[in-house]
Amino acid sequence: MRKFSLETKTDPIVESIINQLRERSELGQNKYGTTLAENELSALEWIEHAKQESMDQILYLEALKQKLTINTK
């Protein structure tokens, strides 16, 4: 049986993401004047926002894929 240590290490990748989330939250609060928790959007509005963000993500990934494909030829 494996024994697991209770000691945890700081993961720099996780810390980087946490910091980026905090920065994004601050940017959003400054831009929209509210937090996500305080936002009064309906469930359908939240879904639409998530859908729009997902479509943007697909576009970014495709653009990067095409750039990498061009650079590897």
Q: Is 52 in the same domain as 26?
A: no
Structure confidence at residue 65 (pLDDT): 96
Q: Which residues contact 56 (CB under 8 A, 6 or more apart)?
A: none
Q: Has residue 1 got a pLDDT over 70?
A: no
Q: Tell me if 71 is assigned to some domain.
A: yes
For residues 48 and 25, membership in a common domain is answered with no
Residues 47 and 24 in one domain: no
Q: Is residue 6 part of a domain?
A: no
- 26 and 16 in a single domain? The answer is yes
- Calculate what percentage of the chain has a pLDDT beyond 70: 96
How sure is the predictor about 30, in pLDDT bands with cuts at 50, 70 and 90? very high
**pLDDT recorded at residue 7:** 83
What is the total count of domains within the chain? Answer: 2
The reported pLDDT for the residue numbered 47 is 98
Q: What confidence score (pLDDT) does residue 6 get?
A: 74
Mean pLDDT on 55-72 = 94
